[in-house]
């Protein structure tokens, strides 16, 4: 019972992002890659969830025993690094469970727990968004395992700084120069002067928590780093509930 849907569907968001990133070859090879993974893991996949994400093909899957999963095939990029490792460390406590993972040359491929009904936290009433996030939040803060592979939070903040500094003067003009300089200073300094270094889900926002049966809300798309958990208050402050961009990252996939 291994296979993929006869009509292979590629979500528009993924196709557009692949074209923008120059990943046409990756996209062309995606049907064969999904078919190979389905055969290796003995699962059957359906059409992808829509609208889907900008870096991954995400679809329901089922094994020969009728167990439901979600298959995520993501092109390799910095944000996808250590996603499977983070989910292994959390082991289902506040986040979706990881069942299998394959790090291929062209893709990061986890087989994940399927959430039902799978509604995103962003679809709940605005005054409930914080409650949806707060449920998993503290449970995801934990000591990283010995010999862990996770990057320090300062790496992520340094990346944001470099992205800003690479912008043109006109693009940087959205902020007053003194304010921008202070923000850059704090982004460099604070991650290196914080408290406990805990494992963090660095993109925990209303689009990345799903309603589930096992727990009221489960986190997806973790982007794990190790650092001061006080940093993770930022999304509550500056992310609008219906925003498609969070901390510079595009909207994540819906693992319904």
Contact 87, 96 (CB under 8 A): yes
* Maximum Cα interatomic distance, the chain, rounded to a whole number of Å: 61
Q: Do residues 99 and 47 share a domain? A: yes
* Residue 4, pLDDT score: 61
The active-site residue out of 203, 221, 231, 244 is: 203
Question: Can you count the helices (H) and strands (E) in the chain?
Answer: 9, 11
What distance in Å separates the CA atoms of residue 254 and residue 256, rounded to the nearest whole number?
A: 6
Domain-terminating residue out of 95, 113, 131:
113
**How far is CA 127 from its chain centroid?**
23
* Residue 171, pLDDT score: 67
Residue 240: closest CA among 213, 215, 207 = 207
Domain-terminating residue out of 75, 95, 113:
113
- Per-residue pLDDT band for 7 (boundaries 50, 70, 90) equals confident
Strand-pair partners of 44: 3, 62
What distance in Å separates the CA atoms of residue 206 and residue 219, rounded to the nearest whole number?
A: 9
* Residue 6, pLDDT score: 65
Q: Do residues 32 and 142 share a domain? A: no
Q: Do residues 201 and 90 share a domain? A: no
C-alpha distance across the termini of the chain, in Å: 22
Q: Is 142 left (phi over 0), alpha (psi -120 to 50) or beta?
A: beta
Contact 4, 34 (CB under 8 A): yes
Q: Do residues 103 and 162 share a domain? A: no
Average pLDDT, the chain: 85
Q: Do residues 126 and 109 share a domain? A: no
Number of domains in the chain: 2
Q: Do residues 226 and 181 share a domain? A: yes
Q: Do residues 149 and 206 share a domain? A: yes
Residue 243 lies in a domain: yes
Domain-terminating residue out of 113, 148, 173:
113
Q: Do residues 79 and 187 share a domain? A: no
What distance in Å separates the CA atoms of residue 207 and residue 13, rounded to the nearest whole number?
A: 16
Q: What CATH number is given to the structural domain containing 71?
A: 3.30.200.20
Q: Do residues 132 and 79 share a domain? A: no
Write out pLDDT tens, residues 120-177: 999 988 778 888 998 899 899 999 999 999 999 999 999 888 888 887 766 666 667 7
Range of the domain at 99: 12-113
Q: Please indicate whether residue 127 is annotated as part of the active site.
A: no
Residue 27 lies in a domain: yes
Residue 245 has pLDDT above 70, yes or no: no
The percentage of the chain sitting over the pLDDT mark of 70, rounded to a whole number, equals 84
Q: Do residues 59 and 133 share a domain? A: no
Residue 131 lies in a domain: yes
Residue 5 lies in a domain: no
Residue 92 lies in a domain: yes
Q: Do residues 54 and 105 share a domain? A: yes
Q: Do residues 127 and 239 share a domain? A: yes
Contact 69, 79 (CB under 8 A): no
* Residue 163, pLDDT score: 84
Residue 1 lies in a domain: no
* Residue 241, pLDDT score: 38
Which of helix, strand or coil describes residue 204? coil
Residue 3 lies in a domain: no
The size of the chain, in residues, is: 256
Residue 4 lies in a domain: no
What distance in Å separates the CA atoms of residue 117 and residue 237, rounded to the nearest whole number?
A: 27
């Amino acid at each position: 019972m291994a296979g993929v849907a006869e009509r292979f569907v590629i979500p528009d968001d993924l196709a557009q992002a692949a074209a923008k990133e120059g990943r046409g070859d990756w996209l062309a090879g995606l049907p064969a890659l999904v078919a190979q993974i389905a055969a290796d893991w003995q699962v059957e996949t359906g059409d992808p969830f829509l609208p889907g994400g900008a870096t991954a093909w995400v679809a329901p899957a089922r094994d020969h025993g009728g167990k439901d999963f979600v298959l995520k095939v993501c092109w390799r990029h910095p944000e996808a690094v250590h996603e499977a490792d983070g989910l292994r460390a959390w082991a289902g406590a506040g986040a979706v469970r990881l069942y299998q993972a394959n790090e291929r040359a062209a893709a990061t491929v986890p087989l994940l727990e399927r959430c039902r009904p799978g509604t995103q936290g962003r679809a709940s009433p605005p005054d409930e968004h914080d409650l949806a996030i707060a449920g998993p939040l503290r449970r995801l803060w934990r000591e990283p395992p010995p010999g862990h592979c996770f990057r320090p939070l300062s790496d992520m903040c340094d990346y944001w700084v470099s992205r800003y500094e690479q912008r043109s003067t006109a693009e940087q003009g959205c902020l007053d120069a003194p304010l921008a300089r202070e923000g850059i200073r704090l982004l460099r300094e604070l991650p290196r002067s914080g408290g406990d270094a805990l494992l963090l889900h660095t993109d925990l926002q209303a689009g990345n928590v799903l309603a589930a049966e096992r727990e009221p809300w489960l986190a997806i798309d973790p982007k794990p780093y190790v650092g001061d958990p006080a940093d993770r208050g930022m999304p509550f402050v500056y992310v609008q509930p219906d925003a498609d961009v969070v901390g510079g990252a595009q909207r994540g996939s819906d693992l319904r």
